[in-house]
Amino acid sequence: MYALIYDEHNLDEPRKKVISVHDSRKEAEQALESRKKKLGRKVWECNTRVVWIEGEINAGNSVKSCQYSTWRKGEKIPEGELYSDTD
């Protein structure tokens, strides 16, 4: 299942709070966009990201880094820019 987690990238705090859970990456990305608008911040200022969590999890729970990954196994990972903006 996909989840939004609160991640300040603080190595002293390895557990991350689950903000919400979703059935698809699209739903999770929409929730992230809504959170961004609600907070009036850029995505990187929200300290929130979409992750894949194997198994059941609920909003409000905490997860360790070994319990989630950025991409679901077998999920197609989008490529970066194909052309540079510079000359």
- The C-alpha R_g of the chain, in whole angstroms, comes to 14
Measured distance CA(24)–CA(44) in Å, rounded: 21
Instruction: Report whether pLDDT(87) > 60.
Output: no
75 pLDDT band, cuts 50/70/90, is confident
81 pLDDT band, cuts 50/70/90, is low
| Residues with Cβ within 8 Å of residue 53, at least 6 apart in sequence | 1, 2, 3, 18, 21, 63, 67, 68
pLDDT tens-place string over residues 23-73: 999 999 999 999 999 999 988 888 999 999 998 899 999 999 899 999 898
